Amino acid sequence: MSKAYNEMSYVEIAAIYNDINNIPLDAAVALGESVAELIGKGAKIMDFGGGAGRISVPIAAHTNMIAMDIEHHMLKASKKLAEDRGIPARQAVGTVLQTPFATNTFDAVITTNVLHQIEFWRDALKEAARVLKPEGTFIIGRDVLDEESGAGQLRSQSRMFTLDIAPEMHPTDAAGPALFQEIQRLGGQMTRPIVACSWIEKVSVADILERMDNGIHNETWSLTREQIDALMAKVRPWAESHFDDIHAVEDVKWEFHLYPITGIGK
């Protein structure tokens, strides 16, 4: 199993992480309201690897949120986002393998884009189960991009090229069905996913290629300059031959899905 994800540093990207992964304000508000409706306003919730706050800050507007992360620079970015929006920010330093919280502390734990990066993600799930109250809800959050869009097709092809160039960047098996199999083994029961919010990004394939080349896109920010150059040498010609006009601006639909799971806190 690759350890590359475990070794990624967010120090260089922290200040612009929320720009790279922007959720427009109206969609962010809807996200926070959706989570509050799911777990109850004022409920005690922890963001399990809260990062730069794009998920935890909107939720904090309606709940008793604590965003936990090990990366100081990401927590700093999260605090700034909260201050800019006038939302109280409560934070804690810790890892998803060893949180600084007592057993049965939270009504809910949410995690987004974290477990597939962790070699020992099964232990992380057990830690989430430990700090949840018996009746608590574990929530997996997921950004969902329209796969048929130009952006979606470019992302899929970029990931294939990246694995050719840097096989060590393959995510752990938590990116597949193993995650939900382990959740079931822990007693977790999943209900239907909830579309918490949606938004439209106006962007062209050329725009995305430029971001990738500059290392300010999700598909390249974790790569070395040499790896980015190798990727661009593959993906740019592919895009130019695959799309009629890479400069055509497209309305790309994004959604943020919540996967609520009960039972693992028992």
Contact 16, 45 (CB under 8 A): no
pLDDT, residue 182, reads 93
Contact 61, 3 (CB under 8 A): no
- Fold assignment, 5-262: Rossmann fold (3.40.50)
The CA–CA distances, whole Å, from 56 to 52, 90, 153 equal 8, 10, 29
Across the range 60-83, mean pLDDT stands at: 94
In this predicted structure, the answer to whether residue 6 has a pLDDT above a threshold of 50 is no
Buried b (16+ CB within 10 A) or exposed e, 186-208: bebeeeeebebbebebebbbbbb
Kindly state the percentage of the chain with pLDDT values over 70: 97
In this predicted structure, the answer to whether residue 2 has a pLDDT above a threshold of 70 is no
pLDDT per residue as tens digits for the range 177-198:
999 999 999 999 998 999 999 9
pLDDT, residue 232, reads 97
Of residues 248 and 170, the one with the higher pLDDT is: 248
pLDDT, residue 11, reads 74
Single out the residue of 84, 39, 92 nearest to residue 57, CA to CA: 84
Of residues 173 and 143, the one with the higher pLDDT is: 143
| Average pLDDT over all residues of the chain | 92
pLDDT, residue 5, reads 38
In this predicted structure, the answer to whether residue 9 has a pLDDT above a threshold of 70 is no
Q: Coil, strand or helix: which one is 262?
A: strand
pLDDT per residue as tens digits for the range 193-246:
999 999 999 999 999 999 999 999 989 988 999 999 999 999 999 999 999 999
In this predicted structure, the answer to whether residue 173 has a pLDDT above a threshold of 90 is no
The CA–CA distances, whole Å, from 48 to 25, 104, 159, 166, 248 equal 22, 15, 25, 28, 38
Residue 119 pLDDT class (50, 70, 90 cuts): confident
Type of residue found at 28: A
pLDDT, residue 3, reads 41
pLDDT per residue as tens digits for the range 120-172:
999 999 999 999 999 999 999 999 999 999 999 999 999 999 999 988 888 88
Residue 1 pLDDT class (50, 70, 90 cuts): very low
Domain boundaries, the chain: 5-262
Which of 7-11, 173-177, 211-215 shows the lowest mean pLDDT across its residues?
7-11
